[in-house]
Amino acid sequence: MSQLIYEASVYTRTVSYKNFKGQTNTVELYFALDPLELMRVIAGFEPKKIKSGNPALRGKEAEISDAEQLKFVHDLACRSAGSPSDDGEVWTPFEKFSESLAGKAFLTKLASSDGDRKEFSSKVILDPFRAFVQYAVSDDSNTPSDVQQFKTMLTQMENIFKVPDPKEETLDEKKARLAAELAAMSESGPAEGTEGDNGINSPCNG
């Protein structure tokens, strides 16, 4: 059996916020997914299928919407938040991350900035998994089928986290888009016109 060595990276962000007493706090937040957790996230993702009267479209993978992408990234932020021990050997999850003010400050930035979402998804998900795939490719004991499966997972993740080209929006259009994206994060179940879900349990909602 192939013994792939994977080095999990840690993404660090500094956030500032005012607490309920009006005091300004600045904290460092850490995010990481260990190799097994990362594999569970990737393998557990099941693209939604299009339900259509058109046989050419029926059963094909539906494109993920901006709101669904935001919810996925939001849930991954909650899942990956934590802190390393002083010796770097143990990772402690940040319990109830979305309920903390620091967590709320970070999640608000994710919701309001395409650039922040792109950076987070690259550092916490895509870059580590690209490295994982390279290890798989370089290991001669892996079959072509195994390698192709990893590459397919990577392509799925890249499609999920791709950021569309920026377009001009009026203030009202941006408010409406953000409101729709935030509303989607509190909803459950598949989107209209699709079947199934992405297989990811949200650690932020329960």
- If one counts every other C-beta atom within 10 angstroms of the C-beta of residue 13, the result is 19
- Mean of the pLDDT values across residues 44-71? 63
Query: Nearest 5°: phi and psi at 194?
Result: -130, 170
Query: What's the mean per-residue pLDDT of the chain?
Result: 76
- If one counts every other C-beta atom within 10 angstroms of the C-beta of residue 101, the result is 14
| 24-40 per-position pLDDT tens digit | 999 999 999 876 777 77
Helix, strand and coil in the chain, % to nearest 5: 50, 15, 40
- Contact in structure between 74 and 85 (CB atoms under 8 Å): no
Per cent of the chain over pLDDT 70 is 65
Residue type, 52: S
- Contact in structure between 84 and 91 (CB atoms under 8 Å): yes
Closest by Cα among 129, 44, 161, 27 to 81: 27
> What is the DSSP secondary structure assignment for residue 206, as one 8-state letter?
-
| 140-180 per-position pLDDT tens digit | 888 999 889 888 888 877 877 776 555 666 777 666 766 66
- Distances 2 to 5, 136, 139, 143 between C-alpha atoms, Å: 9, 8, 7, 10
